[in-house]
Amino acid sequence: MVKLSVNINKIATIRNARGGNIPDLLKAATDIESFGAQGITVHPRPDERHVRYQDVRDLKKIVSTELNVEGNPTRDFIDLVLEVQPHQVTLVPDAPDAITSNAGWDTVHHFDFLTEAIAIFKKNNIRTSIFIDPIPDRIAKAAEIGTDRIEFYTEYYAQTFSSDKEKAIQAYLSCAQQAVDLGLGINAGHDLNLANLKYFADQLPGLQEVSIGHALISDALYFGLDNTVKMYLMQLQKI
């Protein structure tokens, strides 16, 4: 079964809107795990507008499944990851003012930069993943860089799914097989939801984990957090 890692950034955004500690991010993470999720994802940004660096430190102490920390490998981010020692670090090329992730790494252009960052994390026994678009030469370079996994940026798939799901997934299928052949693990995330997740998970070879935040937390407003986590898990079950 493909693992579900729930991104809890949006819960932190609600908390930060009023100050204080409502909703309690740590309790939410614990509850999400108890509802069946196999991981917790956070993406602390430099302005700490949602998840804060201290949140990451606190979460490492209480997450019992897997903690995945996403971010651009600036010096501060690298230092945080080395301090916290999460189960996985996912490198994402976000500019400081980005509202959300909007592209994968150009692993050809940023080859040396990413190779250096990945080497630091692997030296410290932290599983590594690179956020990437389904472009063959970038997949090949990711393997050369030495990352353990790639995470497919799935916005194009999500945007195209309702009009032509076969076209939407085509590039991901071929690049996923390429990644498998190169020995890379495969994660995926961005705009995956209850409508498009099952088809993606059923079709994609080698998929190990999806990271879902915005859609899942939004659905929880209607269905409740416990029920929503279980609904997403059902989409990932193989029949």
Nearest-angstrom CA–CA distance, 10 and 87: 21
* 8 A C-beta contact, residue 130 and residue 106: no
Segment holding 11, helix H or strand E: helix 9-18
CA geometry: angle 99, 232, 230, nearest 5 deg = 125
Q: How far is CA 167 from the centre of its chain?
A: 23
| Catalytic-residue membership of 214 | no
Could you say which of 33, 66, 190, 209 is catalytic? 190
| Catalytic-residue membership of 87 | no
Nearest-angstrom CA–CA distance, 131 and 150: 6
Nearest-angstrom CA–CA distance, 14 and 119: 35
Could you say which of 33, 50, 66, 70 is catalytic? 70
Could you say which of 43, 66, 155, 209 is catalytic? 43
| Catalytic-residue membership of 110 | no
Structure tokens at 108: 């050809």
Total residues found in the chain within this entry:
239
Q: Is 47 strand, coil or helix?
A: coil
CA geometry: angle 112, 189, 238, nearest 5 deg = 125
Catalytic residue positions, numbered: 43, 70, 190
